[in-house]
Amino acid sequence: MELISENRAFGGRHLRYEHEASTTQCKMTFAVYLPPFASADKPVPVLYWLSGLTCTDQNFMQKAGAMKLASELGMAIVAPDTSPRGDNIPDDDNGAYDFGLGAGFYVDATQAPWNTHYQMYSYVTEELPQLVEANLPVTKERAISGHSMGGHGALVIGLRNPNRYVSVSAFSPISNPSDCPWGQKALGNYLGSDESEWEKYDTAKLLAGATHSIPLLVEQGSKDEFLAEQLKPQSLVHAAQKTNTQLTLNMHEGYDHSYFFIASFIDEHLAFHAGHLGLI
Amino acid sequence: MELISENRAFGGRHLRYEHEASTTQCKMTFAVYLPPFASADKPVPVLYWLSGLTCTDQNFMQKAGAMKLASELGMAIVAPDTSPRGDNIPDDDNGAYDFGLGAGFYVDATQAPWNTHYQMYSYVTEELPQLVEANLPVTKERAISGHSMGGHGALVIGLRNPNRYVSVSAFSPISNPSDCPWGQKALGNYLGSDESEWEKYDTAKLLAGATHSIPLLVEQGSKDEFLAEQLKPQSLVHAAQKTNTQLTLNMHEGYDHSYFFIASFIDEHLAFHAGHLGLI
């Protein structure tokens, strides 16, 4: 992997890397925040952050205000891009923001032409952590969080890999993608029309069938413009009630879908993950 | 003034307004952060933030991570745009980033064609505060800060108006614009070739002749790519030594010119201003 930029921040380092990814068969960019004193002798655990539609590795690092507490806690943050990228990567026919580039939905596509490059589930769960753990001063302890499409990705990944991630959280996640326009478009195109194939990427369905427990924390704003049509967090509550899963869903009066909402509550999520990562 | 967007953030509100400005003779956009509980009955003091080249009202609000502490302190923040805007506003002939649109340099231009709209000094010191104080739940107590070109603007405005601002601070300011390429281009075009006209917009020169004291705090990164050629903070130290001005210049090893640097130290600046605004 190749370092493409570095900024000192809160005593630590914000790093951006490029690498040729075998899962997505293209060059991928990701960002890392390394807290002060992270070293091969003193590696730190990692919070993976998955961003939402249209985002890259940069939105969270620039806008979430997470580095201050991550620096104090001694937690690394890794933020991948939201899809494969490049001139040869197929995109939505109409260039829509909700499918294709910037909208990988954290699935392994099975349908042509998407299946060649759109393998974001494998990239995020396998290739990227292996690369990070082999090359940066981090432990193999992982937590995961994300926003909107990335909240969906984080919840799906945490629920399907409870032994690989100690905790999972989400802001404004697409909770039941089988039952909303964004999810139906993405899952239908990437996975095909057989809806049984969608279930392993649907948090509400995974949660209803969960046999392993993983700590779950979800934040949602009441004035989120996508709440009723796309996000449907009540589907998580209904699903969790069917199992022993401990889900905390915090509703916040007046907050919207923006990074101002994430910034307002990111410290609570960092502290939640830090507790499960043994940092506090 | 017309509200164009609103986000809840840290219990307060991030607001963006448009208005027809008489100083710049065009529509201007500015952003405000109002902390929780700010009301006509309980108005709060204001920190003005002036951004650097290419920025708008949005960079600071999205990237500085200032809202959390501003919320706790009960301090409003107002961030104007960095120049007049619009299709009819003259711009650099080559569309360069360092002059014209996004580069008003916080001066009142005297030279055609710039003098019709490029009146950012009067806009920031007179028109905008009057508008804000007449329409929002704020007091007339003001502090001012900024970054790069905006650090220059904040220092100039504070030094020239020590009775209107209780304290002034800057990140990576253009400290001696008469003696650097960015400043010479901007001041030469906006004010003409008579360099004696530049002095009232040159912090190092204003500071050397300062008769009124105002608390000054300056932050500078040692790896700032513009440090030696454009910023020259040592000119501030030399000038302050000639007077009784109390200048604190903090150099930070390894930090660059980015918002990651600002975010790393913005809380110290908010606390500095809060002390002078009587909030702590």
What confidence category does residue B244 fall into, taking pLDDT thresholds of 50, 70 and 90? confident
Determine the distance in angstroms separating the CA of B187 from the nearest CA of chain A, rounded to an integer: 31
Which residues in chain B have their CB less than 8 angstroms from residue A225's CB? none
Contact between B68 and A65 using a beta-carbon 8 Å cutoff: yes
B19 pairs with which residues across the strands?
B28
- Predicted local confidence at residue B212, as pLDDT: 85
CB B112 within 8 A of CB B118: no
Distance from CA of A9 to the nearest CA of B (A): 5
Nearest by CB to A63, from B10, B63, B261: name it. B63
pTM check: above 0.95:
yes
In this model, does residue B29 exceed pLDDT 90? Answer: yes
Question: Which pLDDT band, with edges at 50, 70 and 90, does A245 fall under?
Answer: confident
Question: Please, are residues A65 and A266 in contact by the beta-carbon 8 Å criterion?
Answer: yes
| pLDDT bracket for residue A34 (50, 70, 90) | very high
Minimum Cα–Cα distance from A224: chain B residue: B7
**Residue A196 CB neighbours (<10 A):** 7
Confidence of residue B213 (pLDDT cuts 50, 70, 90): confident
Give yes or no for A254 touching B (CB within 8 A). Answer: yes
pLDDT-derived band at A184, boundaries 50, 70, 90: very high
Q: Please state, for a pLDDT cut of 70, what percent of chain B lies above it.
A: 100
Are the Cβ atoms of B256 and A7 closer than 8 angstroms? yes
Cβ distance A65 to B255 less than 8 Å, yes or no, reads: no
**Average pLDDT of the segment spanning A182-207:** 98
Q: Is B252 a catalytic residue?
A: no
- The shortest C-alpha distance from B106 to chain A (Å) reads 26
The partner residue sitting opposite A8, judged by closest CB among B9, B67, B254, is: B254
Is residue A156 within 8 A of residue A201, CB to CB? The reply is yes
Facing residue for A263 by CB, picked from B67, B259, B260: B67
How is chain B split into domains, by residue range?
A: 1-275
Are the Cβ atoms of B258 and A68 closer than 8 angstroms? Answer: no
The whole-number average pLDDT for the span B79-99 is 97
Judged by DSSP in three states, A165 sits in coil
> Hey, which residues does A172 pair with through a beta bridge?
none
Does A255 reach chain B within 8 Å, measured CB to CB?
A: yes
Residue B203 · residue B159 · CB < 8 Å: yes
B30 neighbors B16 (Cβ within 8 angstroms):
yes
Task: Examine the pLDDT at B189 and tell me if it is beyond 90.
Answer: yes
* Average pLDDT rounded to a whole number, residues B158-180: 97
Task: Kindly name the residue from B175, B224, B269, B273 that is annotated as catalytic.
Answer: B224
Residue B102: per-residue pLDDT: 98
- Give the pLDDT band of residue B242 (cuts 50, 70, 90): confident
Model pLDDT, residue A246: 85
Residue B191's DSSP bridge partners are: none
Q: Does A62 touch chain B if contact means CB atoms closer than 8 Å?
A: yes
Question: What is the pLDDT confidence band of residue A44, given thresholds at 50, 70 and 90?
Answer: very high
Nearest-by-Cβ selection for B264 from A9, A256, A260: A9
Looking at beta carbons, which residues of chain B come within 8 Å of A63?
Answer: 62-63
Q: Do A63 and B67 touch (CB under 8 A)?
A: no
Contact check, Cβ <8 Å, A264/B63: no
Q: How far is B264 from chain A (nearest CA, A)?
A: 5
Whether the CB of B263 is below 8 Å from some CB of chain A: the reply is yes
Active site residues of A: 148, 224, 257
Best CA proximity match to B120, nearest among B61, B167, B80: B80
Contact A11 B67 (CB under 8 A): no
Q: What number is the average pLDDT over the span B222-235? A: 98
Spacing of C-alpha B39 from chain mean position: 25
CATH 3.40.50.1820 fits B1-275, yes or no: yes
CA-to-CA separations, B241 to B166, B210, B233, B237, in angstroms, rounded: 21, 11, 13, 6
Q: Measured between beta carbons, which residues in chain A are less than 8 angstroms from residue B264? A: 8-11, 67-68
Candidates B148, B167, B169, B235; catalytic one:
B148
Task: Over range B222-230, report the average pLDDT.
Answer: 98
If you measure CA to CA, which chain B residue comes closest to A262?
B9
CA distances from B271 to A241, B70, B162 (A): 46, 9, 19
Which residues, numbered 201 to 220 in chain A, qualify as contacts with chain B under a Cβ-Cβ cut-off of 8 Å? none
Position B243 pLDDT exceeds 90 = no
Interface with A, mutate which of B13, B62, B220, B261 (most A CBs under 10 A): B62
The C-alpha atoms of residue B50 and residue B154 are separated, in whole angstroms, by: 7
